[in-house]
Chain A
Amino acid sequence: EVQLLDSGGGLVQPGGSLRLSCEASGFTFSNYVMSWVRQAPGKGLEWVSGVSGTGANTYYADSVKGRFTISRDNSKNMLYLQMHSLTAEDTAIYYCAKHLGGLNTHFDYWGQGTLVTVSS
């Protein structure tokens, strides 16, 4: 059974940093592109970043480019999102999501999400 366990969220001050983690199980992690998708309170879904199976290729939304870094450790079946220079606009539930296969495939599994709150 595919499982994605998001963690690492919390309260952080504006300008601060946070690292999110996603522990994957139930599938061959290195074979799949993974992404982060966020949802601000009461709002819609926004794709944030994606990473290829090997980790060699990364992709970002303009809203986070230069501030967020996606990475993965295939030996540990872990996905990460390092976030810097956080602002109130980054407040959201962050979901890790597994692609069906390559980059241009849909998300077939989602984590439960981890809440990031940026506030002083």
Chain B
Amino acid sequence: DVVMTQSPASLAVSLGERATINCKSSSSSGNYLAWYQQKPGQPPKLLIYWASARESGVPDRFSGSGSGTDFTLTISSLKAEDVAVYYCHQYYSVPFTFGPGTRVDIK
């Protein structure tokens, strides 16, 4: 199975500042990598797919990069509504796997 790890586990960022979340896969996932945002009591919401393609309607302050085993989600200028848990997800091979999540809060 492809094991996904994320760092940091949590981070607190000031409003308007940059937040960076890293995701690493135990073997190459090519660019078969998505990022989801989850707020309390809600299902996950797709942000990024194919490692760097932004889903329609997602603000352009969210961006993804990377390929192979190392990926990054960047929120360029944090807004209050971005407080959530963020998960990376590889869909390169079955069983599909997710990272453990990164909690983003306001400093």
**Secondary structure of the B side of the interface?**
loop
Q: Is A68 an interface residue (CB 8 A)?
A: no
Interface contact tally, CB-CB below 8 A: 54
Considering only CB atoms, which chain B residue lies closest to A99 in the complex?
A: B91
Query: How far is B101's CA from A105's CA once the two chains are assembled, in angstroms?
Result: 20
Number of B interface residues at 8 Å Cβ cutoff, please give it.
23
List the one stretch of B16-24, B41-49, B66-74, B75-83 in contact with chain A.
Answer: B41-49
* Chain B residues, CB < 8 A from A59: 94-95
Query: How far is B34's CA from A113's CA once the two chains are assembled, in angstroms?
Result: 20
Interface residues on A, range: 20 to 34
* Chain A residues, CB < 8 A from B95: 47, 59-62
Q: Nearest 6 A-B pairs (CB), nearest first?
A: A110-B43, A106-B34, A47-B96, A45-B98, A106-B49, A61-B95
Q: Is A44 an interface residue (CB 8 A)?
A: yes
